[in-house]
Structures are given as structure tokens and as C-alpha cells.
Structure 1
Amino acid sequence: MGERTLRGARLGGQSFEDERGIEFAARQQVGYLCSQGHGFEITMSVEADIPALWECPRCGAEARATSGIEPEVKAEKPARTHWDMLLERRSEKELEDILAERLDLLRSGEIGPAHLHRPSARKKRASV
């Protein structure tokens, strides 16, 4: 029987609910003004935390609340570099020792790209 009442109704066309007997939550109007000078109001619950910034519906710019609410200033962390992260794990003395050890291995030919360790054509001709 309920299916028959909805038959033929457009999607999004009209609501079959009645507003009688419904108690709406307490609301407030919050005003905003963007940098382009566009002013607008948003309806919010009285219990809601009012955001200091809102996107302007006309231009998309950041709009500030006209009630004087200031946005929170977040403390920015300085960017951590690879060197900073490396120093969290090892001391500079340890890093110097590791570097010296790896340079010795590289110079002796135990590690590194193969083309650096192949005998050159000059050395072959000189030995022949």
C-alpha cells in the first residue's frame, strides 16, 4: 500500500512529510566576509563550534567570521631534513668513522660500480 503512494512521484520533486509537530533545533546566523568583499550568512546550530574561516560561495576565497572569532594559529614544525633524521640515529663521530670505512672500501675496489674497477685499456696495453 505504501508503494502506491510513491508511484509516479518525481525524484527529488516533493516531500510527503509534514512539518507539523516537529520541534527544530535552536539555530543562529553566522556572518562571514571574504577578501573580495562578499558577505554571506550561514545557519548553524547554537551548540556548534563556530569556525573562524569559511569558503566564500561566490568566489571560493577564504572568508572570516564577522563576529571577531580569530582562527587558531598552529605552531609550524620546521621541516626535518635527511641530515636531521640521520643525526637522530647516529652521532657525528659515528658518521665520520662510517664514511672513512666506506671510502677505504671504495678506494680498494671492494665496493662500488664495476666500471671503476675494470682494468683500463691502457693498463692492458702496457702490460702486453
Structure 2
Amino acid sequence: MAERTLRGARLGGQSFEDERGIEFAARQRVVYVCPQGHTFDIPMAAEADIPALWECPRCGAEALMKDGERPEPKAEKPVRTHWDMLLERRSESELEEILAERLEMLRGGEIGPAHLHRGSKSKSA
């Protein structure tokens, strides 16, 4: 029975709410101009912080707000690699010692997968 009550109601395509008595938020239109001369406007809330740059919907370039100033570029941090972070904790001589110890353990069969050990006796048995 419940299925019949929803038939023909176009669920999701039509709102049954009434817009009478609803006060919409105050809006403003902000105009942007891209380097290729495309002009477009974006509706925004009156109390919103307006961004100086917006992506142009036509070409994807950075459009500047009309009569606005281009913001100063942010200072970027240099990219830190894993090696840089490792050198913050250990010196190169310490790393060479650790590498030599680990290689000796690997060759001795103390660590690592069994199929990589040179002197493994499991193959001869």
C-alpha cells in the first residue's frame, strides 16, 4: 500500500516545501577577469570573505577580481626528502656503520628472507 502513495511523485526531482515566508541570505555578485579577457561573475554571501583569485570556468586560468590586487605569493618551504630527515638524526659515518652491521647480519643469515641466504642448508637436505 505504501508504494502506491509515492507513485508519480517524482521523488528527488521536486520539492514539496513552500517558499513563502522564507528570507534568503543577502548576496553580492563578484566580477572576475582572467588573463585571456574572459569576464564572469560569482554570487557570494554578503558576509563572505571574497577571494582575490578564482579559476576561470572557460579556460581554467587564474582570474583576478575586477579592480582587485593580486595577493603576494606565499613563501614555500623547501622540500625535505627522506634523506634530509635521516641526516637530521644521524651523521653519515653513523649510517655507514649501521649499514655495514646490517649487511653482515643479512649475509650471516640472521635477518632477511631464508631464500636469500647463501649458505642455507635447507637446499642440500
TM over 0.5: yes
Number of residue pairs aligned between Structure 1 and Structure 2: 108
Q: Which amino acid aligns with 2:13?
A: L
CA displacement 1:60-91 (0-9 Å, x = unmatched) = 32211113143463322211122212112212
Displacement of 1:27 in angstroms is: 2.0
Structure of higher CA gyration radius: 1
Partner in structure 2 of residue 124 of structure 1: none
TM-score, with normalisation over the residues of structure 2?
A: 0.60
Partner in structure 2 of residue 11 of structure 1: 13
Identical-pair percentage: 60
**Does the 8 Å CA contact 2:108/2:117 hold for their aligned counterparts?**
no
TM-score, with normalisation over the residues of structure 1?
A: 0.59
Cα distance in 2, alignment partners of residues 35 and 102 from structure 1: 58
Q: Which amino acid aligns with 1:11?
A: G
- Partner of 2:108, secondary structure, is coil
Partner in structure 1 of residue 87 of structure 2: 87
Cα gap change, 1:16/1:99 in structure 2, threshold over 3 Å: closer, same or farther? Answer: closer
Structure 2, unpaired ranges of 5+:
120-125
- Partner of 1:94, secondary structure, is helix
Displacement of 1:58 in angstroms is: 2.2
**Does the 8 Å CA contact 2:55/2:62 hold for their aligned counterparts?**
yes
Partner in structure 1 of residue 28 of structure 2: 28
